[in-house]
Amino acid sequence: MRSRAGDWVEVRSKEEILKTLDKNGRMEGLPFMPQMFQYCGQRFKVFKRAHKTCDWVYTIAGRRVSNGVHLEFRCDGEAYEGCQSACLIFWKEAWLKPVTEARRPVEQSLVDVSPDNNQIINESCCTEADVLAGTRVENEQHAAEPRYVCQGTEVLNFTTPLPWWDVRQYLEDYTSGNVTLGRLVRGFIYAGYTMVLRSGIGLGRPMRWVYDTVQSLWGGIPHPRRVGYIPAGQSTPTSALNLQPGELVRVKSFKEILATIDTEGKNRGLRFDAEQVPYCGSVYPVRTRVTKYIDEKTGKPSTLKSAAIILEGATCQSRYSYCRMFCPRSIYPWFREIWLERVPENNQATARPGAEKNTPGQRV
């Protein structure tokens, strides 16, 4: 099976999936996480083909994934102390079947199940207990400070390096339905322009001015890679709005946000990334108030000193990411509350989330 974005699939039964996993609950290095069992037997639409992903922890580069897809829902963090990152889940195509096969009976030769508790009798196979045990680093099951294993922490183990110049990835971006032809062309134009900017020939400022001027002619997005106004090492401003899920907020203008970040692009350690620039000026509902997450580098549960905000629909589209363009992982970037402003209650009835100027996907 080779799924495309928009295809309907059915998640195979628990017994079928367990047959594909090793004793650590993995297939080709990719962990099958405990919370994924709840989707067995259900039908979902393929969000994107996960033929590649990004490693933003170690190599800051693209990585090739074999036989993977993302479905239209995210990790709930239940097996990971309530991690609130809401990452897309990687699914091996072996764990799925096309809807056209959905009514085909399961081959009895695949598994031998107990009529009492639906557990695999063959002890050499992976069990649910193995999958659960696989969420912790080996020999640290009872550590005071546990280290977790999830798909996010294991990216380097189930992927291989993918050079940015390998054109086959871009062909698959298009043929899989992940990216439109127009999006590809605009991405290549931006990438080429940026390569000249980074070449050190001293034309950065005039070239950014030209970029901004041309973009302004059709309401496009200004050049997204700029440094903040505050010198690195100096304190950055803060704001406490106490935003809650469901509230509508407007992302401030890029210029306003630049006044709140330092020359390293950070506000109290949190970076405002180029991938967040397309959302400036638009209205979105608050999805999550993030206070806890799993550190993908250490596997340890971590707590933010001050909450960050995830906005519904505001995901990384990998439009401006060096060496990993069009990554389908669609990670939720985190926003400081000082980068947001509440939509007044008297305007909420007419505000349409994400429908204002600079809605992502419209221009370069």
Report how many domains make up the chain: 2
pLDDT of residue 139 exceeding 70, the answer is: no
In three state form, how does the secondary structure of the chain look? Answer: CCCCCCCEEEECCHHHHHCCCCCCCEECCEECCHHHHHHCCCEEEEEEECCEEEECCCCCEEEECCCEEEEEEECCCCCCCCCCCCCEEEEEHHHEEEHHHCCCCCCCCCCCECCCCCCECCCCCCCHHHHHHCCECCCCCCCCCCCECCCCCCHHHHCEECCCCCCHHHHHHHHCCCCCHHHHHHHHHHHHHHHHHCCCCCCHHHHHHHHHHHHHHCCCCCCCCCCCCECCCCCCCCCCCCCCCCCEEEECCHHHHHCCCECCCEECCEECCHHHHHHCCCEEEEEEEEEEEECCCCCCEEEEEEEEEEECCCCCCCCCCCCCCCCCCCCCCCECHHHEEECCHHHHCCCCCCCCCCCCCCCC
Q: 157 and 187: one domain?
A: no
Q: Mean pLDDT across the chain, nearest whole number?
A: 88
| Residue 174 domain flag | no
**Same domain (yes/no): 211, 128:** no
**Residue 20 within any structural domain of the chain:** yes
Could you tell me if residue 1 is inside a domain?
no
Same domain, 308 and 219: yes
**Range of lowest pLDDT (136-145, 161-170, 208-217):** 136-145
Q: What is the pLDDT of residue 140?
A: 57
**Is the model's pLDDT at 204 over the cut of 80?**
no
Domain boundary among 102, 128, 161: 161
Q: What is the pLDDT of residues 25-77, one digit of tens each?
A: 999 999 999 999 999 999 999 999 999 999 988 888 999 999 999 999 999 99
Together in a domain, 187 and 237:
yes
In a domain, 169, yes or no: no
In this structure, are 225 and 332 located in the same domain? yes
Looking at the fold, whether 104 and 55 belong to one and the same domain comes out as yes
What pLDDT score was predicted for residue 44? Answer: 97
Asked if 325 and 261 sit in the same domain, the reply is yes
Q: How far apart are CA 28 and CA 259, in angstroms?
A: 46
Query: Where in the sequence is the domain holding 234, given as residue range(s)?
Result: 179-348
The answer to whether residue 116 sits within a structural domain is: yes
Q: Same domain for 14 and 144?
A: yes
Share of the chain above pLDDT 70, in %: 86
CA dihedral 344, 345, 350, 351 (to 10 degrees): 50
Residue 172 lies in a domain: no
**Among residues 161, 187, 207, which one ends one of the domains?**
161
Indicate the pTM of the whole model: 0.87
Question: Does residue 353 sit within a domain?
Answer: no
If asked whether residues 300 and 187 sit together in one domain, one would say yes
Q: With cut-offs at 50, 70 and 90, classify the pLDDT of residue 129.
A: very high
Per-residue confidence (pLDDT) for residue 61, from 0 to 100: 92
Q: Is the pLDDT of residue 220 over 70?
A: yes
Residue 351 pLDDT level (bands cut at 50, 70, 90): low
Is residue 87 domain-shared with residue 185, that is, in the same domain? no
Residues 39 and 100 in one domain: yes
Q: Are residues 301 and 333 in the same domain?
A: yes
Q: Name 270's bridge partners.
A: 267
